[in-house]
């Protein structure tokens, strides 16, 4: 499902809101999640899951084109942990 399909589905379900208004709401939700993660925070949506950051250690990797060894610096990566309700729903399908 793309963001535009999500916006259409929400606009169909919620009467009184235009697609443009729903788009602003969806964008605000995503921006809020991104801002919280950028600040090192955690976003918990009960029944859905948690967004948080994980630390990746520095490591040695290999350039596939040249075969040379390169060092990859440590970094933080976004991580999503699925909630119990969503996990059960997916496993029933």
Find residue 77's DSSP bridge partners: 54
Mean pLDDT of the 30-35 span: 96
The token pair that represents 72 in the structure block: 């990859």
Cβ 81 vs Cβ 50: under 8 Å: yes
pLDDT of 93 strictly over 80: no
- Contacting residues for 18 by C-beta, under 8 A, at least 6 apart: 11
Confidence grade of residue 78 (pLDDT, cut at 50, 70, 90): very high
Cβ 52 vs Cβ 42: under 8 Å: yes
């Amino acid at each position: 499902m793309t963001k535009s399909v999500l916006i259409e589905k929400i606009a169909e379900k919620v009467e009184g809101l235009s697609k443009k208004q729903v788009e602003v709401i969806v964008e605000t939700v995503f921006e809020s999640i991104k801002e919280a993660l950028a600040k090192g925070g955690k976003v918990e949506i009960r029944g859905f899951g948690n967004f948080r950051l994980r630390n990746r250690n520095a490591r040695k990797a290999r350039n596939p084109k040249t075969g040379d060894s390169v060092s990859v610096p440590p970094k933080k990566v976004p991580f999503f942990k699925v909630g119990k309700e969503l996990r059960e729903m997916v496993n029933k399908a």
